[in-house]
Amino acid sequence: MSLLEHIDSPADLKALSRAELKELAGEVRAFMIDSVSKTGGHLASNLGVVELTLALHTVYDTPNDRIVWDVGHQTYVHKILTGRRARMGTLRQTDGLCGFTKREESEYDAFIAGHSSTSISAALGMAAAAKLKGEDRRCVAVIGDGAMSAGMAFEALNNAGAMDANLLVILNDNEMSISPNVGALSSYLTRLLSGRVYNSMRRQGEKLLAGLPAIHELAKKAEEHMKGMVMPGTLFEEFGFNYLGPIDGHNLDTLTATLSNLRQLTGPQFLHVVTQKGKGYQPAEANPLGYHGVGKFDPDLGISTKAGGQPSYTQIFGDWLVDMAAADPKLVGITPAMCEGSGLTRFAEQFPERYFDVGIAEQHALTYAAGLACEGLKPVVAIYSTFLQRAYDQLIHDIALQNLPVLLAIDRAGLVGADGPTHAGAFDLSFLRCVPNLLIAAPSDEAECRRLLSTAYRHDGPSAVRYPRGTGPGAKLAGDLDGLPIGKGTLRREGSKIAILAFGAPVAAALAAADQLDATVADMRFVKPLDRDLIQTLAQTHELLVTVEENAVAGGAGEAVAEALAEMGLSKPILHLGLPDRFVEQGEPAVLLARVGLDASGIETAIKKTLAD
């Protein structure tokens, strides 16, 4: 029987020898590769933190000690070690394990995560709470180097240093930017500097020199200079942290010894750990980006890179961006660290001087776009719906208030399947619709997506085009850059008594339901401005109006229709169909849409029920 089969909780790790822990690391990697190959998920990032996760759960007393994982896409090892190994086959599946951390799922998940750069703030709050409540526990934030680019991470570092909190921040550096520092000398120095003897001498020295300000300052500068010669920690020291590292994140001996020392120290501590994405699986080591998020694959063959098949909405956008950039030299493309996910790869290759990846910094991305627009350029910001939430003030204050021509290409609108509620674009129509000056479009198919992107791009003011994850109904694409009349929808089917006003992707399901009900279907295309003439005509010629959208009903497109009817003085029964007032968990997209009543059958059933009542 393998060692892994005996690990049901972190307590089991503490009985293992160092040699057994190293053997267990290999078993965990093999298990994880096999498991993810069957479910899909984040692979390279998880392979990179095997030893770090083992060391953390060996040294710390979890769940009493809190470990907060930033983003949560590197927590598969954590799940395996905390009693969820047997359920890993359900990862990211309907009614299965979440792909990220989730408090309801396990007492070992201290904080939900799906967006980046929240870990330090959350762990700091937990450390402050422990102090206030008089509880003896340690709080650790594990954050990647990419997530450190966000302003929120630095806000938390600044606050933590000022509070003198008992907090350990672990920087998981997997870009190997400072690899020359990783070696025997660096590891030795880190163990030395994290030890109690050095830190006791440091504190006593500070007390002794406190009455001699000039000498105290000289000693402090000398210590900083010595550390700066062998480690890049000056920035974090300035924040008030005791910086240690960098150390090899795959060396269990060094990790456990250093963490054991750090657990005994008080005040803000910062440990810099260098790891390799994809560690232990050669294809992922060679192509960590390709193995960041994977579908099902054969571990012996690796992931398939074959092209072909129906293009996704993301690909439609990427191709449109390249074509429009070729036609307009003023176009610039911006992404907050989601080049591949948002479809900007071709654009970045063909127009590198007009491509800007600003890092995981959504707020900065929008204000940066505003600055470009002020100087006459035409920015296109490619951003996930759920990430746009993080830049709401910048959208209102920096873009909309100045009526700047910035196009938001909003990917992952609506439900997103396996990624679940942390990534579901359930609210963008609701929070965008109330913003003045903003044009909002929702294409129903691939051809309409391309044309509405052109329409919005040419609009003299801020605009947003929202489209779902994955593929559409398969509409034939044209290669031109023609637009559509702003604020005008179109009738896709004419029927009697019932009129379905559909916004975006649900048009296909609405058409299928309408065939069973002999209903009229309007592809509304625009959420703002609405096609008020079409709404008025449908209200005057039908007995029941039905709005359908893959967005929260509260504040969404359906409510915009109801408001328009009220303003026109028209009283008409209206049924609003959309996402429910709850977070929708992960699962197969078709199953999720059926559960919330947004498939053809659900729309038909809801309409029949309304007619019967």
**Annotated catalytic residue within 277, 412, 433, 528:** 277
Task: Indicate the residue type of 3.
Answer: L
Establish whether the linkage from the previous residue to 473 is cis, with ω within 30° of 0. Answer: no
Decide if 137 contacts 238 (C-beta within 8 A): no
The Cα 70–Cα 422 span in angstroms is: 13
Q: Where are the beta strands (DSSP E) in 328-461?
A: 331-335, 355-357, 378-384, 407-411, 439-441
The question of whether 390 is a catalytic residue gets the answer: yes
The question of whether 543 is a catalytic residue gets the answer: no
The Cα 571–Cα 566 span in angstroms is: 7
Burial class, 142, CB count within 10 angstroms (exposed 0-12 / middle 13-18 / buried 19+)? buried
The Cα 384–Cα 378 span in angstroms is: 19
**Annotated catalytic residue within 390, 450, 451, 525:** 390
DSSP codes, 199-228: HHHHHHHHHHHTT-HHHHHHHHHHHHHHHH
Tokens 């994140």 identify what position?
249
Tokens of 290: 């390709």
How many C-beta atoms surround the C-beta of residue 28 within 10 A? 25
Decide if 32 contacts 74 (C-beta within 8 A): no
**Annotated catalytic residue within 237, 362, 448, 559:** 362
The Cα 613–Cα 307 span in angstroms is: 50
Task: Indicate the residue type of 265.
Answer: L
Sign (positive/negative) of CA torsion 207, 211, 212, 214?
Answer: positive
The Cα 35–Cα 47 span in angstroms is: 12
Distance of CA 489 to the CA centre of its chain: 32
Give the chain's largest Cα–Cα span.
Answer: 90
Distance of CA 433 to the CA centre of its chain: 23
Total residue length of the chain: 613
The Cα 242–Cα 249 span in angstroms is: 19
The Cα 89–Cα 369 span in angstroms is: 42
Contacts of residues 352-355 at CB distance under 8 Å and 24 or more positions apart, as own/partner, are 354/325
Q: How far is CA 529 from CA 267, 441, 470, 533, in A?
A: 54, 9, 26, 11
- Residue ranges of alpha helices (H) inside 265-312 are 282-286
The question of whether 277 is a catalytic residue gets the answer: yes
- Residue ranges of alpha helices (H) inside 140-183 are 151-163
Distance of CA 261 to the CA centre of its chain: 33
Which are the catalytic amino acids? Answer: 277, 362, 390
